[in-house]
Structure 1
């Protein structure tokens, strides 16, 4: 048996069809032992990639892959062939009829942002499975999507929910007035006031533990450890507010003190959830994961529901969503003259991020208009 044959058949770390070809090449150039060490390094790289990929990213890719499979079934295409024609047909189908159920306006096609996500996920999954898609092919499919999106705009068709309505200080006051002194009321107020002040996504308070929120003489330090990027993993400092009614620091302390007073010292543990699922009777509830472990904290959906429910009860004109707090810090901070870099650092954006700049929107387009005062 040759060295190449030995490398391909020996009990090396994972030898799928793609890895087998690489091992054969490495064995030919460097010998069997080195080929196995290189294969083990590849497995280690795969493990690192899996460890640093958030679970919700994998879930998103899985959902998008099912959309690609549905398209291929309808068209009679093999799902392992991401050809130029197939990908361009895919983006056209996504925009025209890709949804399984009509959207909020009765539309059958996806919004362009969703279509872009499905396209990118399909390209990534196909490449990982060993089916080559050139950069030119992927770029042409993206260009087709952009062009078709422009056509939709010219036809007066705008899809998607658009940006979340931004939380504002007036709304925070209304919410503070609407939250009672029950444990749920204390939790909702602390959730919204702290979330506004560090521009939280719904997933971020859901991932917080009690020990991630530290009381400091000047306020709170919130360790956000569930972000997807190096910018979103951050130590956000939240100072005391001048107005006690909407002070996030006071709201957090009041919530945690009442939680311990009503339910016991176990809720002082650092690994306790920051924000709990509380039923209508004030009891702490839990969910079970697939391994049977109990989770007492609100999930991302629970955070979003709490924000929507509380803003509706407070009479906020347009109901807030899970992203309203994030939009609110950026837009309010800009109106107050805060530096864009400081806003980016607090909210976990890359400095000069396009998405952050999008949140720094004007209420009506007249204030700070680029054309104002030119003539």
Structure 2
């Protein structure tokens, strides 16, 4: 019936609309975009933004090796497969995470008007398929993060790279430890909100992902190699930072960016430095946070003071799990019972 009413006209010229019709159509397109955007959960939007930041970091990595920075909108079969290999071999990402990154990059690119060939995403997932059959790769990122110890922090300090990047990395992981910070919180720290006083540092930890902000103090450490205060002051002076993001990306030529590091970059810096130092366990961004809590508890600090530093709720199962781990050998039930 419809074919009879509207016969097919393959050679017909495109429809021409008047200005008023074009204005209405444009408004409808904008309204459709806004409606679809509102339907995307905020967590998904944040995830896509993180995926795109990693995609840009991959392009930066490529530029260091090829001498040419391709535009981030170059989403091709070769680039997507290379992205999968980079995430697997450089970032040590779990295959499930890589799968999500492919989706995030593809969706973001299409939102920017880039036409991503279907063969590109198919090739990327074909490269990913054997990784999903590797038990060791699938186990990446699972389980509770290992809590870093002061001894391991000293081990990392002894192996830290020379130059500006090394100063930043050491200040970053010691600040993460000192404020018991999540990677997202460390990424959002501002230089002007880290105030040097005679006793150490007064640090404003900003609100991240709906969690309330908090103000904490970081005391001078007795060991210069693991003192967050000295590490921060050294990095701040070397980088010439007075305001803005506390920790910045540094390119291969030692040039500072003016944007903040991403939470993923914070985690990668910690993991990379721990691996370089030969730390026996795999450390992650959360290792600094859990390490502070267990170390502080073993030093006899009160639970409420530790919670003020970490920002945990009083009834947080995660917090009390850290406390139980720290107290495991304190007055152990099997100690001094006549055996």
Shared fold per TM-score greater than 0.5: yes
Conserved in 2, the CA contact under 8 Å of 1:344 and 1:352?
no
Tell me how far 1:365 sits from its aligned partner: 5.1
For the residues of structure 2 that align with 1:182 and 1:217, how far apart are their CA atoms? Answer: 27
1:246 and 2:226 matched: yes
Indicate the SS of the match to 2:296: helix
Indicate how the Cα distance of structure 1 residues 302 and 362 shifts in structure 2: closer, same or farther if over 3 A, else same. Answer: same
Query: Which deviations, in whole Å up to 9, do the C-alpha atoms of 1:100-157 show, x marking residues without a partner?
Result: 984863899xxxxxxxxxxxxxxxxxxxxxxxxxxxxxxxxxxxxxxxxxxxxxxxxx
Tell me how far 1:362 sits from its aligned partner: 3.4
2:194 is aligned to 213
Conserved in 2, the CA contact under 8 Å of 1:340 and 1:352?
no
1:203 is aligned to 184
2:166 is aligned to 185
Indicate how the Cα distance of structure 1 residues 61 and 315 shifts in structure 2: closer, same or farther if over 3 A, else same. Answer: closer
Conserved in 2, the CA contact under 8 Å of 1:224 and 1:233?
yes
**TM, length-normalised to structure 1:** 0.52
Indicate how the Cα distance of structure 1 residues 61 and 220 shifts in structure 2: closer, same or farther if over 3 A, else same. Answer: same
For the residues of structure 1 that align with 2:140 and 2:203, how far apart are their CA atoms? Answer: 36
Pairwise mapping of residues 9-20 of structure 1 onto structure 2 (< 5 A)? none
For the residues of structure 2 that align with 1:219 and 1:364, how far apart are their CA atoms? Answer: 28
Pairwise mapping of residues 108-127 of structure 1 onto structure 2 (< 5 A)? none
Conserved in 1, the CA contact under 8 Å of 2:295 and 2:326?
no
Indicate how the Cα distance of structure 1 residues 330 and 283 shifts in structure 2: closer, same or farther if over 3 A, else same. Answer: same
Tell me how far 1:247 sits from its aligned partner: 0.9
**TM, length-normalised to structure 2:** 0.58
For the residues of structure 2 that align with 1:301 and 1:159, how far apart are their CA atoms? Answer: 15
Tell me how far 1:371 sits from its aligned partner: 5.4
Indicate the SS of the match to 2:158: helix
For the residues of structure 2 that align with 1:328 and 1:182, how far apart are their CA atoms? Answer: 27
Query: Which deviations, in whole Å up to 9, do the C-alpha atoms of 1:158-188 show, x marking residues without a partner?
Result: 9971110101100111112122441100000
2:310 is aligned to 347
Indicate how the Cα distance of structure 1 residues 227 and 210 shifts in structure 2: closer, same or farther if over 3 A, else same. Answer: same
Indicate how the Cα distance of structure 1 residues 370 and 341 shifts in structure 2: closer, same or farther if over 3 A, else same. Answer: farther
For the residues of structure 2 that align with 1:107 and 1:315, how far apart are their CA atoms? Answer: 20
Q: Alignment partner for residue 234 of structure 1, among 214, 217, 228?
A: 214
Higher relative contact order (CA 8 A, sep 6+): 2
Indicate the SS of the match to 1:362: helix
1:313 is aligned to 276
Indicate how the Cα distance of structure 1 residues 55 and 366 shifts in structure 2: closer, same or farther if over 3 A, else same. Answer: same
For the residues of structure 2 that align with 1:106 and 1:186, how far apart are their CA atoms? Answer: 33
Indicate how the Cα distance of structure 1 residues 215 and 374 shifts in structure 2: closer, same or farther if over 3 A, else same. Answer: same
- Structure 2 stretches lacking a partner, 5+ long: 1-37, 50-95, 97-128
1:304 is aligned to 267
For the residues of structure 2 that align with 1:160 and 1:280, how far apart are their CA atoms? Answer: 28
1:278 and 2:259 matched: no
Query: Which deviations, in whole Å up to 9, do the C-alpha atoms of 1:169-221 show, x marking residues without a partner?
Result: 00111112122441100000100111101111110111112112111111111
- Structure 1 stretches lacking a partner, 5+ long: 1-49, 68-99, 109-157, 261-266, 286-294
